[in-house]
Amino acid sequence: MLKAVEFDKLSIDITETSEEVIYRFVGDVDESFRQKDVPRIKKKKITFVLEQINNFNSCGIREWIYLVRDISDIGSLRFVQCSVTMIDQINMVPDSLGKGTVESFYAPYYCECGGEVSRLIHVADSQMDLQMRHAPAFKCESCGRNLEFDALEESYFLFTGSEMQRAS
């Protein structure tokens, strides 16, 4: 079953199975976002797909925190494919996670041949690097050179400290 919730600059597609509900967010979390309009569907597993979150503002983050708190109380919340914007928000406002855990996220990298690229990092596959707040190594798909991490590792991977503790 598919449901959709639309706001001015944000859409949320909601898909249910017998065991899981998946919320796919696309757009900006801003003053038009009203968390009370997002259905709370009680399932054992609740997944937020966040690769297309582009922006947050202060009104939006307040509503986001209320949503995450509510949903964290009705099932096991996990965040997948978090955009760079989402990770920046989590690092600035740790309450953005509620009781949820990040399972995968995008990180910014750079290569001289093609500029900026994002790479998807799976927390379970990169635990050693992430615990030490090191960027996992990736090769450029075009030229084969090692990509350079394009942020400060200590601050970009800040959220993984609480993530690793929660996952243990």
Give domain limits for the chain: 1-102, 107-168
| CATH number at 1-102 | 3.30.750.24
Question: Cα separation of 66 and 81, whole Å?
Answer: 21
State the pTM of this model: 0.91
Q: Based on the number of CB atoms within 10 Å of its own CB, is 47 exposed (0-12), middle (13-18) or buried (19 or more)?
A: buried
Record the tokens describing residue 21, joined without a space. 């509900």
Question: What mean pLDDT is reported for the chain?
Answer: 92
Q: What does the buried/exposed string (b/e) look like for 59-82 if buried means 16 or more CB atoms within 10 Å of the residue's CB?
A: ebbbbbbbbbeebeeebebbbbbb
Whether residue 105 has pLDDT greater than 90 = yes
Per-residue model confidence (pLDDT) at position 165? 38
Give 161's pLDDT tier (boundaries 50, 70, 90).
Answer: confident
State mean pLDDT over 101-126. Answer: 94
Checking if the pLDDT of 38 tops 80, the result is yes
Between CA 152 and CA 38 the distance in angstroms is 34
**48 or 141, which is more confident:** 48
81 or 164, which is more confident: 81
Confidence at residue 114, expressed as pLDDT on a 0 to 100 scale: 79
